[in-house]
Structure 1
Amino acid sequence: MEQSVGSLQEQALKRKERLKALREKQLHVSFFYGVGGMLQSVAQATETPELKLRNYAPEDEELKERQVPKAKPASVEDKVKDQLEAANPEPIIEEVDLANLAPRKPDWDLKRDVAKKLEKLERRTQRAIAELIRDRLRGHEEELAGAVGAVGAEAGDSD
């Protein structure tokens, strides 16, 4: 599909006309819209911005009216006091349960699960200790009885 030189020139001219129309349209829109993008009237678009003098002390009376009054610095002490008061809210809860606030140890659930088994073992251990004590006492009674019998036998021989 070859295009002739004449048709390419015609397309280029049409493209130039479209671009020119777009530029004119943008200029027209930017004239009615301000820097912020809000629609302004033609009179406002051509007006110069109002002069505000912040750091310059003019001698002319007309310019003195446009001078902005000097800002007074706020008291730092007042700001600090306000911030400190805002940072210290009144406590809502008067009593605090320390058990709920303290973090639990990582093995608390293991201890909870093993507690029942430990109770059974504790009872069995106490029984075993009691039984051992009884056995020792029985052994001591036999030794004591033997010792008493031996002392009685010796006493009987000396009569």
Structure 2
Amino acid sequence: MTSTLEEQALKRKERLLALKRKRNGEEETENGEKESNITLPKPVFRSYKPSDEELNGNVLPQAEPADFTEEIKEQLDAAKEKVVIDELDITNLAPRKPDWDLKRDVAKKLEKLERRTQKAIAELIRDRLKQRQEDLATMVNAATNL
């Protein structure tokens, strides 16, 4: 049993080593020699002119600035035109109250509370009227007993 465990451990080590070599770009040939297949990235030169002629193929062409004169002229012409005040709606320019959104969100809840409040007030009034009627009845009974 120990020999099988040792064999499995050795196989695992070999697989791990092969994975490491593969990740590093090394491959073993049939002879057991290691070859390196690592390809280095080619540099791209934007603002540097290399002195080596082999690297001149990686130089990007100089970027030329775009012509913005037409757009600038259009913007200047648009700025010269006068804005007609009659077209502006003053109501849209007025700022909203800072709590308008809170009032909007709470409006439905306030309606429910208002209904409940009115019911509670009506019940209190009925209770007081019932108590007064009972008080009046006891007063009338007390007056007749005298």
Superposed pair shares fold, TM > 0.5: no
- TM-score, normalising length from structure 1? 0.36
Larger Rg: 1
